[in-house]
Structure 1
Amino acid sequence: MLAVMSPISSNLATVDEIVPDPHVEIKTLIRGFLDASNYQSPRSPHDAELRRKLAEELTSWPADIKPALIAKIMDGSCVYAETTYGHTTHEHRYFIALYTACLMYVDDLGERDLDAVMRFTGRFARGEKQPDKILQRLAELLGSAHDLWTQFGADAIISGTLDAVTAMYIEFTTKDMVAKPSATRFPYYLRTRAGLGPPYIHFIFMKEWRATPESYLQVLPDMEHWTLGTNDILSFYKEELAGETNNYVHLRASAERTSTEEVLRRLVEEVLDSARRMDALTYEDSKLTALWRTYMQGYLEFSLSAKRYRLAELGYQP
């Protein structure tokens, strides 16, 4: 409960001045999730060279891109690479940061040139040059994925990116769509494509780490589910404050004919269950266990570092 103090009487609040917090249940569920995840900040260091190189790259981007967007892209991309993929080489981290920057740009581009977003995959498949400079940079980046990741991993990064750009277009054109009660699988279907799960999961496994994927293939579904679900949980508070309803929780609530709070509660349990399965699946492989735990804590650190999530209002710091 939040007590709102009268500007006239700052020492005493009447019963009428006590107003309920409409987000108290959401805050409680998010706090419970973070507590159950045993978050302990790795305090990942800043990578000065990574930031220098990305800043240099961004200076070559079109001048009409708003400075505020450039600053948001710069900080978000670097922090993500530093926290979540700190175990990788500098070359890998730069790829991931630049890739993230390009996808953040695509997300913004949909508001200005939706046709360019819609036609990206077709042009990529035909080997055509993208008319938008940053989309062309993304296409070139995908072309070098096999240099850094295994055949299986690079293929997943490329196909997952094409899936995601297509799904972003769908999200832009269906913002006001309400999920039908019988479409209970649709929210998950859209989320797994738009959420860039495969690329960001496969970024974890460098080609130099293990040459083939059979030792970690079976953990990928739970690792992806944990990542996407964690993002849904930790971003939901700021989305509710902004009045956003075209997200996974709202779509699922509509399809399942229940409240968003109930969906969030179920999602917290599902994601924590994926984390428990990850612990069990990696138990006999100490290197894989270490990689999973490092990734998990790094991803939580990134989420808490992202000011846009507003999790500091819940009492959490990176």
Structure 2
Amino acid sequence: MVEVSEESIASIRETLSHFVSGVTGGRKIDSDALTLTRVEKLRAAVVSELESSSLGVHLDLINSKNQFSFACYVAADFTWSHPFEYQVIVAQLTIFFFHAEDILQDKPEVLRQLQLNIATGQPTGDPVLDWYARELTPKLWKHFDPLVANMIVIACYDFVNGIGIELLTKHAEVHREAPNFPDWLRFKTGLSPMYALLALARASDPQLPTGGFEKFVQTIPDVIIFTNIVNDVISFYKEHLAGEKGNYIDMRAHKDGVDVVAALRTLADEGICVRDRVLAALADEPEYRDNFDAYAKGITHFHTSSPRYRMVEMFGTPAQA
């Protein structure tokens, strides 16, 4: 663990408070912000579906690090304005991502060959990936407009590519003549292209003649950026303590010639501007605007409440259940 000065901690705390208020419409990092969302009902529904799938005999494999609960926190917070069955799908997609990251550590070749094996109808070499490709993916077309479903699947595969690239480049400095590399890689590894679609789409969209996508598609690039910024800003403290290098803020600081705490503040301000821009762009589409507003609050709450990001160390204790 890296020793961080009190001055830096105070600056980080101030930036986080400023950021959370700016992206949630004035909320504070108080006991409610630090308290996990209740997910018992959602978790039971997710596990019940998995038990009746081909993964029924592999549940211990995919819950070795409490992935079920963590995925449900993501789904419940990110899509809290959506129907319950919609949240079940989001949780299952999130379980796939967690498992894919674990596979990278132990069986990277399985991920490298994933799309080839799916395209040729061969087993993927992993039961969770088989379930994802043969059972979970086809469900998406029941819940989403075909174009949106296509994009969600592509985002999943691009994430697999992204984490492979990240592993190859984690010790490399950004070349001064390749300034767009950090943003390009962040686009692939943040899961944001998928969650941006899941957050704004409505459960009723597939019943519309055009799927509704044209009503919010122009905001998707900014929602992707916003998603990445929320994660980067709120995860900064725990990564800074751990002395992690090669993350987005570290690369931005190197590119801009500033220290990481200054880069954090700049990114926080950018995130607030992006949030305001999306809300303005959706002013004439109130249902999609409300979905984004709910998403901005929900993704922020997920990050402030998760013990993973160590917000309690700076802002106090969660509310008592």
Please classify the TM superposition score into its range, dividing by the shorter chain length: 0.7 to 0.9
Correspondences of 1:265-276 after superposition (within 5 Å): 265-276=265-276
Bigger Cα displacement from structure 2, 225-234 vs 22-31: 22-31
Alignment of 1:135-154 (within 5 A): 135-140=129-134, 141-154=136-149
1:160 corresponding residue in structure 2: 155
- Structure 2 SS opposite 1:129: coil
The offset of 1:94, in angstroms, is 1.1
Residues 85-124 of structure 1: pairs in structure 2 closer than 5 A: 85-124=79-118
**Is the Cα–Cα contact under 8 Å of residues 42 and 88 in structure 2 kept in the other structure?**
yes
Output the CA distance in 1 between the equivalents of 2:314 and 2:284: 36
Does structure 1 residue 39 correspond to structure 2 residue 7? no
Q: Secondary structure at the match of 2:283?
A: coil
Higher radius of gyration, 1 or 2: 1
SS at match of 2:109: helix
Provide the rounded CA distance (Å) in 1 between the counterparts of 2:106 and 2:314. Answer: 34
| Separation (CA, whole Å) in 1 of partners of 2:59 and 2:83 | 29
Cα gap change, 1:28 to 1:122, in 2 (>3 Å)? farther
The answer to whether the Cα contact below 8 Å between 1:183 and 1:255 also exists between their aligned partners in 2 is no
- Post-superposition CA distance 1:225-267 (Å, at most 9, x none): 1111111101111111111112111122223333222221221
Equivalent-residue separation in structure 2 for 1:256 and 1:126 (angstroms)? 45
Is this contact kept in 1: 2:174–2:255, CA < 8 A?
Answer: yes
Distance 1:50 1:20, change over 3 A: closer
Deviations 1:69-96 (A, max 9, x none): 1x1x122101111111122223221111
How much does 1:36 deviate?
Answer: 2.4
Which amino acid counterpart does residue 57 of structure 2 have in structure 1? S
Q: 1:304 to 1:59 in 2, by over 3 A?
A: farther
Residue equivalent to 1:60: 57
Give the paired residue count: 297
1:75 and 2:69 correspond: yes
Q: Structure 1: which amino acid aligns with 2:130?
A: Q
Q: Is the helix fraction higher in 1 or 2?
A: 2
Choose from 186, 190, 213 the match for 1:191: 186
2:314 aligned partner, one-letter code: L
How far is the alpha carbon of 1:23 from its aligned partner? 3.3
What pairs with 1:148-227 in structure 2 (closer than 5 Å)?
A: 148-204=143-199, 205-209=201-205, 211-227=211-227
Distance 1:263 1:48, change over 3 A: same
The answer to whether 1:130 aligns with 2:124 is: yes
Distance 1:146 1:183, change over 3 A: same
Which amino acid in structure 1 is aligned with residue 15 of structure 2? L
The whole-number CA distance in structure 2 between the counterparts of 1:89 and 1:34 is 26
Aligned to 2:246: 246
> Which amino acid is 1:245 matched to?
K
Q: Residue 98 of structure 1: CA displacement? A: 1.2
Whether the 8 Å CA contact 1:253–1:263 is kept in 2: the answer is: yes
Percent sequence identity over aligned pairs: 23
Q: Distance in 2 between matches of 1:221 and 1:65?
A: 31
Q: What TM-score, normalized to structure 1?
A: 0.85
CA change 1:223–1:65 in 2 (3 A) is closer
Measure, in 2, the Cα distance between the counterparts of 1:242 and 1:81: 27
Q: How far has the Cα of 1:130 moved from its partner?
A: 0.9
Q: Is the 8 A contact 1:181 1:257 kept in 2?
A: no
Distance in 2 (alpha carbons) for counterparts of 1:293 and 1:60: 39
CA deviation vs aligned residue, 1:254-288 (integer Å, no higher than 9, x gap): 23333222221221111111011122112233222
1:50 maps to which residue?
42
Distance in 2 of aligned mates of 1:144 and 1:126: 20
Q: Which amino acid aligns with 2:315?
A: G
Q: Give structure 2 stretches of 5+ with no counterpart.
A: none
* Distance apart, 1:160 and its partner CA: 0.8
5+ unaligned residues in a row in structure 1: which ranges?
Answer: 1-18
Distance 1:208 1:66, change over 3 A: closer
Q: How many Å separate the matches in 2 of 1:257 and 1:124? A: 44
User: Alignment partner for residue 28 of structure 1, among 14, 21, 27?
Assistant: 14
Give the structure 2 partner of residue 313 of structure 1.
313
Distance 1:192 1:240, change over 3 A: same
Counterpart residue type for residue 34 of structure 1:
V
Name the CA distance, whole Å, in 2 between partners of 1:66 and 1:302. Answer: 20
Task: Check the 8 A contact 2:83/2:203 in 1, yes or no.
Answer: no
